[in-house]
């Protein structure tokens, strides 16, 4: 590698690092004044946090906000959920979609948790053995319940990251090392939970899939997508 090439690649790496830091600080600052508030963000048990994430799968946050507290009132613990009547649970989820599969999945997970002492494991390998816990949910449990700096890398966070930092390598987000590493580095901060929420809120309110509000976006000067969109 010539000295010129070396300088170029070194410069590019430094730029990427600076871009990452700028991304973090600008999103965090935006979040302070524009962040959303949801009941599950005030959850005070692991159970409540995990239920929030499970209900949010393929379901809009505002819809979940409408019945999340009712769900917790009806099923306040792993123990009560494991003993739930499947038909009753289906009825509670009926107007949310995925109701049959989700009712079964919730009961199965609660039963599995009760079988292992009523507590969730704290490693990815053990978490992903549980029914209904995949790559995303394992990360969610690690960051929300155990304070590890893991990303809530869903389709929305992926969209923001790809617009700013470039496209993924694989079709499936969960097995794309580029996106996974990028997302993980984004949340290497003191409060990883809020860092995750900040990106998700930006994705939901500004960096939307259709008609993104680039003129309101704190990342507009970092983002290659913004310049080509209006």
Q: What residues numbered 130-149 form the site for DNA, per CB under 7 A?
A: 131-138
- Return the residue of 43, 106, 107, 152 that touches DNA, per CB under 7 A: 152
Stretch that binds DNA, among 19-27, 68-76, 77-85, 169-177 (CB under 7 A): 169-177
- Return the residue of 16, 22, 34, 38 that touches DNA, per CB under 7 A: 38
Structure tokens at 59: 């379901």
Closest separation in Å from C-beta 10 to DNA:
33
Total chain residues near DNA (CB under 7 A)? 47
* Cα–Cα distance for residue pair 168/189, rounded to 1 Å: 23
Cβ proximity to DNA, 4 vs 172, nearer residue: 172
| Element of type H or E holding 228 | helix 224-228
- Return the residue of 16, 59, 77, 111 that touches DNA, per CB under 7 A: 59
Cβ proximity to DNA, 1 vs 32, nearer residue: 32
* Cα–Cα distance for residue pair 9/38, rounded to 1 Å: 43
Identify whether the C-beta of residue 49 lies closer than 8 Å to the C-beta of residue 145.
yes
Identify whether the C-beta of residue 110 lies closer than 8 Å to the C-beta of residue 81.
yes
Q: What residues numbered 71-130 form the site for DNA, per CB under 7 A?
A: 94-102, 105
Crossing angle of the two packed helices 177-186 and 3-34, in degrees rounded to 10: 60
Does the footprint of DNA cover residue 167 (CB under 7 A)?
Answer: no
Q: What residues numbered 188-217 form the site for DNA, per CB under 7 A?
A: 197, 200-201, 204, 209-211
Closest separation in Å from C-beta 1 to DNA:
32
Cβ proximity to DNA, 197 vs 225, nearer residue: 197
| Element of type H or E holding 25 | helix 3-34
Q: Which residue from 226, 230, 223, 189 is spatially nearest to 31, judged by alpha carbons? A: 189
* Residue 150 burial (CB count, 10 A): 23
Residues contacting residue 36 through CB under 8 Å, at least 6 positions apart: 61, 197, 201, 204, 205
* Cα–Cα distance for residue pair 70/66, rounded to 1 Å: 8
- Return the residue of 23, 30, 31, 40 that touches DNA, per CB under 7 A: 40
Cβ proximity to DNA, 17 vs 98, nearer residue: 98
The residues of the shown chain that bind DNA, judged by CB under 7 A, are: 36, 38, 40-41, 52-53, 56-61, 63, 94-102, 105, 131-138, 152, 154-156, 159, 170-172, 174, 197, 200-201, 204, 209-211
């Amino acid at each position: 590698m010539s000295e010129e090439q070396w300088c170029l690649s070194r410069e590019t790496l430094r730029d990427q690092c600076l871009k990452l830091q700028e991304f973090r600080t600008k999103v965090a600052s935006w979040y302070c004044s524009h962040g959303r508030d949801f009941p599950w963000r005030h959850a005070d048990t692991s159970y409540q946090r995990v239920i929030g994430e499970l209900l949010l799968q393929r379901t809009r946050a505002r819809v979940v906000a409408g019945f999340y507290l009712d769900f917790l009132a009806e099923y306040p613990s792993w123990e009560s959920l494991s003993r739930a009547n499947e038909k009753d649970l289906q009825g509670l989820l009926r107007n949310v979609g995925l109701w049959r599969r989700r009712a079964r999945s919730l009961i199965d997970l609660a039963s599995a948790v009760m079988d292992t002492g009523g507590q969730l494991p704290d490693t990815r390998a053990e978490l992903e053995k549980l029914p209904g816990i995949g790559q995303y949910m394992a990360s969610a449990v690690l960051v929300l319940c155990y304070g590890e700096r893991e990303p809530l890398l869903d389709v929305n966070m992926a969209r923001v990251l790809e617009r700013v930092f470039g496209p993924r390598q694989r079709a499936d987000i969960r097995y794309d090392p580029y996106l996974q590493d990028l997302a993980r580095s984004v949340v290497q901060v003191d409060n990883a939970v809020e860092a995750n929420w900040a990106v998700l809120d930006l994705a939901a309110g500004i960096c939307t899939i259709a008609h993104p509000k680039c003129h309101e976006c704190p990342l507009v000067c970092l983002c290659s997508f913004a310049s080509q969109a209006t």
